[in-house]
Amino acid sequence: MYDVAIIGAGVVGGMTARALSKYKLKICILEKENDVAMGATKANSAIVHAGFDAKEGSLKARLNVRGAEMMPTVCRELGVKYQNNGSLVVGFNEEDRAIINDLLARGKANGVAGLEILEQDALKRLEPNISGEAICALHAPTGSIVCPYDLTVAAIGNAMDNGAQLKRNFAVCRIESTENGYLLSSQTDSVEARFVINCAGVYSDAVANMVGDTSFRVHPRKGEYILLDKECGTLVSHTIFQTPSKMGKGILISPTVDGNLLLGPTSVDGEDKENKATTQEGFADIIEKAQKSIGAVPLGKTITSFCGLRAVGSTGDFIITSPKKGFINAAGIESPGLSASPAIAEYITQMLSQQGLTLTEKESYNPIRTSSHAFREMSLEEKNRLIKENPAYGRIICRCEGVTEGEILDALRRNPKATDLDGVKRRTRAQMGRCQGGFCSPYIIELLARELGVPYERVTKSGGASFINVAQTKGGQ
Amino acid sequence: MKDLVIIGGGPAGMSAAIAAADSGIRDILVIERDAHLGGILQQCIHNGFGLHKFGEELTGPEYAWKYEQKLHDLNIDYKLNTMVLDLSEDKVITATNSEDGIFQIRAKAVILAMGCRERAKGALNIAGSRPAGIYSAGTAQKFVNMKGFLPGKNVVILGSGDIGLIMARRMTLEGAKVHAVCELMPYSGGLARNIQQCLHDFDIPLRLSHTVVEIHGKDRLEGVTIAQVDASRKPIEKTREYIPCDTLLLSVGLIPENELSKAAQVDISPITNGAVVDQDRQTSVPGIFACGNVLHVHDLVDFVSEEAEIAGKAAAEYINGSQSDALSIPVKTDGKIRYTVPQIITRKKDVTVYFRVSDVYKNVSVKVTSGDAVIVSKKKRKVAPGEMESITLKRDQLASVKELYFSLEGM
C-alpha cells in the first residue's frame, strides 16, 4: 500500500514525486514506457518561459511565473544545466508590433520582470544574426533554457534516492476504488495507493475516464523540430520567438544548454497519441519560418530531427482538478508545462494536504543530486584524481561529445538507471553528437549487456521489442 | 617533448610513422583511440586490399598486420585506448586514457591521421518514425565482423558508397535478404569492382535515382517507402513504393574527422572537408601534416598508405630542418574537376596530384595548364566521382609556373 501513486514519469510526475519525497510518504511512480521522460517531456522546446504568454488570471499564467521563479534553485539542487539566456519575440510588421504590445501588457499583468520593447537597432546589437526584416522585439530577460529530460531524470533520481519507487513498463489500464484508496492495474501487475495523481500526459483523459471523470479531453498536437550542430550553437544567444498571429504560431530558434541550435516546433493537431513521425511538410514549414527570423539556415549542419506530442487540454488552461477524493488530475499540461512544473508540484502538494494527506518532513531528505555533468565540469587535477581511483573516467567512449566510460557506467548504475541505448543517450549525451552513435553504440551496448546481465543481442534501443541486433552471426559466439 | 606525434593508428598513421622512422626520426608516438592498431581495416574482413601496394589481395586485418609488424620491428612507440582531446596551434596534444589520465605532450611535428566518419541518418531529414534497425553501414559492419551479431534479416541499403556495397554482400552471406540498394544519384559513388562483386554477383538490385522518403515502425523498423527522384533529386510522388524490411543501412558519404585540425587552426577545404595541404601534405600550420581519410576520402587503402609515406617523410624533413626552398603555386580546378590534393605546391619536386571529378564524364581529356601553356593533357575514356584519378608532374614542368589549372575538356 502506497500513500501516493503517480501515473506518468514525465516532468510533471517527476517534479511531483520529488516534492513529495521530502515527506514521510510511500510513493510510487508508474510509467508505461521503459524509461522516464518519454512523452512530451522528451521532445519540446526546452524553454523556461518568462510568463507573458498565458492569459492573465489563468492557472497557466500563475504557475508559469511561479515555476520560472523556482526553476534556478531546483536546477541547482539537481545539478541540471540552466541558462538564463533571455528571450525575444520578434516582429516584422505593424501587425506584429500590436501583438508585441499586447504581450508586454499581459506580461506586466502576470508579474513578469524586466520586459521591454526593443527597436531594430537595439535588437541588431543584441542579436547580430537576426534578419534585417525584423523591426522590433519584446525582450524578456528572465526567459531561460533547460534540458527537460535531464531535469526529469534528475528529479526522479532524487525522488528515488529519497525513497520513491519507479515501476517501468507499467501501463495503467484499470483503476478501482478500494476501502483505503485506489487499486491501479496494468496487464500484469497492480499497486494500491491512498492517493493517485494523474500525470499521464496525452493519455491523462483516458486515465481520468478510468475513475469516471469525463469532464475534459486531451488531444495530441504534433511538434516537429530540427537540431543543428554545435557549430551553429552561437548563431543566436537568445531564444527567438515569432509572434503568434493569424498566419499560425511561428517557430522558435534557440540555443540549447548543451550548445546546439534548436528550430521548431510545427503545430499540427491530430488524434493518434502514438504518432511521432516527422514529415516532409514539417521540415519545409520549419525551414521556411526559421529563414524569416535569421535568413539562411545552415541545414547542412543538421544533426537530427524529431517530433513530440503536446498534451492539449479541452479547457484552454491546465486542468489540475480532483474529480474524486484522493484522485488528482494534472492534465492538459502543454506549454508552459515545463516552466510551470515545479509550481505544479507545489500546487498538487497543497491539494493533497487539503484532502487530508499528512505531510511530515523526513530528517533524511536530501534535495541535492550529484550532477551528471560533474565529471566534465571538474578541473584537470580533480579529473586525474578521479581517473586514478576509477580508470573508467580516463576512457572516452563517445568521441563526438567526449563522454567517458565512467559517466556511462554512472548512468547505468544510479537512479533512475538507464536500461536501453536511448536512456544512456539522454543521461550522458553519448550518441548525441555528429556521428549519432555510429562509433560508440557497439561499445555502449557492451556496457549495457554487462550491467543488465543480458546477452548482447537482447539490448534494446528503447525498451520493448526495439532490439539493436536480432541474432548471432553464423560463426557467432 | 616528442619529435613526432601521430594522431591515429590506422593505415595512414602507421604508414606515416614507418616513413618517418625510415627517414631517421626515432622519437615518435602514435596515439590510437581503439584497443588495437589498424583502425577501420580491422573490421574490413573482405579481401581486395594491397593489390597496388603488394600485388596481392589481402584482407583488411592482413594489410594492417604488415604495417603493425613493421612498427614493432622499428620499435615505434604507440599508445592504445587513448583519445586525443585537443591539439593546439603550437602543437601541444592533450589526450586521455585509463592508465595515464589526462596528459599533455608537446611535439615538434604532428601528423593528423584520424580518418573519417560516416554521415549519419539525422543529417538526411528522412520523414517518419525513429525505430531501432537503422544503422550506418560501418556500424553494421562492426556488429557483424567484430562483435558477431546480425543487426537484421531483411535489409534495404540507402547509398551506394563502398561500405554499403560491401555490407550488401556481407549481410547476404550471413543469411539476410538485401531487397535493394537505393542511390540518389544516377550513378554509384562506389568502385565499379564493388558493384560487380557485391551486387551483381548476388542479384541485389541497384536502384539508381532512388531514395528513402519515409521510415515506418514503432519499436523496430517495419518498412521503408522509397521513391524515384527527378533530375533535381526531388522524389516523384507517383513512384512511391513500400518495402517491408527490419533494417536500413546507410552508406551516404564519409566525412573527414577534423575537429582536432580545426582546434589547431588548420585551414579546412569546404570541398574535401579536410585540410588544405601542399605536396608534402603539410597544412596551413607549419609542422602539422595530414594524410589518409582525414585529408580526403580515398577509395583504396593502398593510396592512403602512399599518401601517408609522403607526410611521414616530409615531417622528418621538417623536424630535421631540411626542407628545400619554398614556392607558392596554387592548384585550381574548373568545377568539373571537384578538387585536387595537394591544393598548393610549395617545393620544386616531382608531384603526383590526386583529383576527383564531380560527375560521370565520358571521352574527355584532363588538361593541366599554366596560363596559356598546356603542361599535361591526358585522355580518359570515362571518369566518375567514385574513382580517384591522378596526374604526375615532373619537377622540370614546374619551372616558371605561377599557377596550375586542372580542367576537363570534351573530345
Q: How many CB atoms lie within 10 A of CB B395?
A: 11
Are B79 and B10 in the same domain?
A: yes
Considering only alpha carbons, which residue of chain B is nearest residue A398? B83
The enclosing domain of B398 has a CATH number of 2.60.40
Average of pLDDT values for B394-403? 90
Residues of B in contact with A463 (CB under 8 A): 219
The residue type found at B260 is L
> Band of the pLDDT at B198, cuts 50, 70, 90?
very high
Going residue by residue through chain A, which has 477 residues, state the pLDDT in tens, using 9 for 90 and above: 999 999 999 999 999 999 999 999 999 999 999 999 999 999 999 999 999 999 999 999 999 999 999 999 999 999 999 999 999 999 999 999 999 999 999 999 999 999 999 999 999 999 999 999 999 999 999 999 999 999 999 999 999 999 999 999 999 999 999 999 999 999 999 999 999 999 999 999 999 999 999 999 999 999 999 999 999 999 999 999 999 876 667 899 999 999 999 999 999 999 999 999 999 999 999 999 999 999 888 988 999 999 999 999 999 999 999 999 999 999 999 999 999 999 999 999 999 999 999 999 999 999 999 999 999 999 999 999 999 999 999 999 999 999 999 999 999 999 999 999 999 999 999 999 989 999 999 999 999 999 999 999 999 999 999 999 999 998 754
Are B149 and B177 in the same domain?
A: yes
- Percentages of chain A per state (helix, strand, coil), in multiples of 5: 35, 25, 40
Are B330 and B219 in the same domain?
A: no
Helix (H, G, I), strand (E, B), or coil: what is residue B60?
Answer: helix
The pLDDT value given to residue A248? 66
Q: Give the best residue of A226, A399, A405 to mutate against chain B (max B CB count within 10 A).
A: A399
The pLDDT value given to residue A247? 63
The pLDDT value given to residue A250? 81
Are B233 and B336 in the same domain?
A: no
Q: Could you tell me if A464 and A419 are in contact, meaning their C-beta atoms sit under 8 angstroms apart?
A: no
**How far off is chain B from A52, nearest CA to CA, in Å?**
33
Are B64 and B4 in the same domain?
A: yes
Quick check: bond before A416 cis, omega within 30? yes
Beta-bridge partner residues of B340: B355
Beta-bridge partner residues of A219: A312
Q: Of B80, B113, B83, nearest to B10 (Cα)? A: B113
The enclosing domain of B57 has a CATH number of 3.50.50.60
**How far off is chain A from B118, nearest CA to CA, in Å?**
7
Considering only alpha carbons, which residue of chain A is nearest residue B99? A391
Cβ–Cβ gap A466/B219 under 8 Å: yes
The pLDDT value given to residue A249? 72
Share of chain B above pLDDT 70, in %: 100
Per-residue cell: A80: 541540471
Give how far Cα B312 sits from Cα of A377, B46, B55, B272, Å.
Answer: 37, 28, 23, 21
Domain final residue pick, B304, B323, B342 = B323
Instruction: Tell me the C-alpha distance between B146 and A476, whole Å.
Output: 10
Residues of B in contact with A455 (CB under 8 A): none
Considering only alpha carbons, which residue of chain A is nearest residue B132? A466
pTM (predicted TM-score) = 0.95
**What 8-state DSSP symbol labels residue B190?**
S
Are B71 and B22 in the same domain?
A: yes
Catalytic residue among A49, A139, A219, A373: A49
Q: Could you tell me if B45 and B60 are in contact, meaning their C-beta atoms sit under 8 angstroms apart?
A: yes
Summarised one tens digit per residue, pLDDT across range B359-386 is 999 999 999 999 999 999 999 999 999 8
- Measured torsion, CA atoms of residues B296, B299, B301, B304, in degrees rounded to the nearest 10: -30
Q: How many domains does chain B have?
A: 3
| Residue B181 Rama label (left phi>0; alpha psi -120 to 50; beta) | beta
Structural domain that includes position B301: 1-118+254-323
Q: Are strands A302-313 and A218-228 parallel, antiparallel or unpaired?
A: antiparallel
Are B263 and B377 in the same domain?
A: no
**How far off is chain B from A303, nearest CA to CA, in Å?**
5
Are B172 and B259 in the same domain?
A: no
Q: Give the best residue of B36, B86, B96 to mutate against chain A (max A CB count within 10 A).
A: B96
Summarised one tens digit per residue, pLDDT across range B45-91 is 999 999 999 999 999 999 999 999 999 999 999 999 999 999 999 99
Instruction: Tell me the C-alpha distance between B395 and B411, whole Å.
Output: 28
Cβ–Cβ gap A438/B97 under 8 Å: no
Domain final residue pick, B234, B252, B270 = B252
Are B127 and B246 in the same domain?
A: yes
Q: Could you tell me if B252 and B126 are in contact, meaning their C-beta atoms sit under 8 angstroms apart?
A: no
Cβ–Cβ gap A303/B122 under 8 Å: yes
Are B129 and B234 in the same domain?
A: yes
**How far off is chain A from B167, nearest CA to CA, in Å?**
14
Domains of chain A: 82-143+224-301 (3.30.9.10), 375-458 (1.10.10)
Are B291 and B262 in the same domain?
A: yes
* Residue contacts between A and B (CB atoms, under 8 Å): 146
Residues of A in contact with B45 (CB under 8 A): none
A49 is catalytic: yes
Cβ–Cβ gap A474/B213 under 8 Å: no
Cβ–Cβ gap A277/B131 under 8 Å: no
Are B35 and B92 in the same domain?
A: yes
Instruction: Tell me the C-alpha distance between A221 and A218, whole Å.
Output: 10
The residue type found at A188 is T
Q: Kindly provide the ipTM of the predicted complex, given to two decimals.
A: 0.95
Summarised one tens digit per residue, pLDDT across range B277-288 is 999 999 999 999
Domain final residue pick, B274, B296, B323 = B323
Q: Of B138, B66, B7, B116, nearest to B305 (Cα)? A: B66
**Long-range contact pairs involving B133-136 (C-beta distance under 8 Å, separation at least 24):** B133/B217, B133/B220, B133/B221, B133/B246, B133/B247, B133/B248, B134/B215, B134/B221, B134/B247, B134/B248, B134/B250, B135/A438, B135/B247, B135/B248, B135/B249, B135/B250, B136/A435, B136/A438, B136/B249, B136/B250, B136/B251
Instruction: Tell me the C-alpha distance between A384 and A376, whole Å.
Output: 12
Q: Are strands A327-331 and A190-198 parallel, antiparallel or unpaired?
A: parallel
Cβ–Cβ gap B102/A395 under 8 Å: no
